[in-house]
Amino acid sequence: MIKGVIFDLDGTLYRGKKVIDGAAETLERLRNSGVKVLFLTNAATKSRENVAQKLTNMGLQANKEEVYSSSYFLARYISSKHKGKKVFVVGEQGILDEFREAKVECVEERADIVVVGLDRKFTYEKLAHALAELRDGAILIASNKDPTFPTENSFMPGAGSIVAAIETASGKEARVVGKPNCYPLELIKEDYGLKNEETVVVGDRLDTDIKFANCCGIKSVLVLSGVNKKSDIKKDIPDYILSSVAEFNLPLYP
């Protein structure tokens, strides 16, 4: 029996600024049936609180505790695995907000860790600064390696493009805390007591959402409203395929 449904956001519940038709009704239907609805995004530009507010403003009811963003993964990972370490951030306000709440210290020099997320003001100077910190011994941690993200009509470069630049310059490989790494599921299971067999992921990307589910041992649903189509399916194979989240319902059938 499925007790928790984890939804990706961009490409799954909305695309750019446009809500996917039927998304709000699907969330309401699941909640009314007693299923725990959670939101899981590799985006690190906003804090959990801001993501929840954005969803609510779009007509998709959400609260902070239901949101798992990679800005939050970074904050929890560093505060638990690297407690007391100083961090140089290549990223946006969402990471800084979550780090402030988790009491992770951000610095401009002599950092122990270089953290990288999507940064829409990324410059050559930031690349050079990150390189200098890494050459001085800092370790590299990334929110995700998504190469792109969908907008209403096209795609934009994702955090992975920035991570790749820093990896190339430094020769260091980033530790990724977002999907498809299983760290987000560890947090969700810890917070809500869900078991693998009680949980399903719904997303639009094979290389993150579906790979995440497969690597972590939970069921997956690919929706065709975002990045990937049926013809893209090769190695990261979903358990179910739907045209959009509007078709999602429980119980699931093969």
Residue 6: pLDDT over 60: yes
pLDDT digits (tens, 9 = 90+) for 134-178: 999 999 999 999 998 877 778 899 999 999 999 999 999 999 999
Residue 133: pLDDT over 60: yes
* pLDDT bucket at 253, cuts 50 / 70 / 90: low
Q: Which domains does the chain have, with CATH numbers?
A: 4-42+179-247 (3.40.50.1000), 83-176 (3.40.50.1000)
Average pLDDT over residues 71-100: 97
159 close to 42: Cβ distance less than 8 angstroms: yes
Torsion of CA 23, 208, 117, 102, to 10 degrees: 70
Which has the closest alpha carbon to 140: 180, 113, 112? Answer: 113
87 close to 113: Cβ distance less than 8 angstroms: yes
Residue 245: pLDDT over 60: yes
pLDDT digits (tens, 9 = 90+) for 42-61: 999 999 999 999 999 999 99
Distance of CA 213 to CAs 35, 173, 182, Å?
18, 23, 8
pLDDT digits (tens, 9 = 90+) for 172-219: 999 999 999 999 999 999 999 999 999 999 999 999 999 999 999 999
Catalytic positions are 8, 10
